[in-house]
Structure 1
């Protein structure tokens, strides 16, 4: 993805993540779908941190001297630098996969995202965007429910309805909310 290959923060993040895991790694979250929405629809360029799902994390975390190791709300490593942070999420700890009792494979992450636009990733090994549901959401300029159970879980955590969760995400992207599946 050319947008990322020219991004110095992404390159630094990739170097740090590669140092701490095997070959299986996927960039997920806002840096993917907001970055693509920026390119496709000229919305504001995202100023987001990087979220990586990793298949084979190393036992010992190695960070540059200026970086610090913290934990995110799910207890996974969060690497914090001066300008941005990196969520380093082992595939074996993904909540939506655990809650559904599924095998820890990346496709099960994609089927467990709350919203359609979130069901997308940059597969670092393949060097390409994956996640048909998320790609379709971006192409159609819409946001709907991808996994109702996870959407309910996230909306309750935020103290809002699933409909409002959809509306908030759609508005932030300039997309249309799809509420039929709720």
Structure 2
């Protein structure tokens, strides 16, 4: 069996009063290995809708789609390791931001699908991700891709991974944290 991969990570501002972090946290804390395919779709759909509702707060991100089997397996392993390794930028919490002093806090949300190559979901994502190079890092492109994730059939997904940084709001990322080399792959969206 050959594989493809789709992966997306977004970095969003945690605006005062926003429920984005809480909604995403609820989506990732469920144990997916015990879910039916329909319930798994529902949990991703919940995350997808939260991200679409907060598209204005997404400042950075990256996404990939590859239909090369060895690259798909390698990249999926890389994305999966992000879930089991410590990915934070510091050893202690960032504290509560002062909204009057311009100290925004951020979250990153990651999802990756190891797809059965040639499956309906693989073909759909291949089409959705066929974006001209000069448009790759646009917020509207991220919105377009996110909108189409509601069409993913988990019968075509061999494996998936989903995770969120931070789990607790007190550990939210700062602007300085995002300059750490470990976040070099996140592109500024226009």
TM-score over 0.5 for the pair: no
User: Normalized against structure 1, the TM-score is what?
Assistant: 0.26
User: Normalized against structure 2, the TM-score is what?
Assistant: 0.25
More helix by share: 2
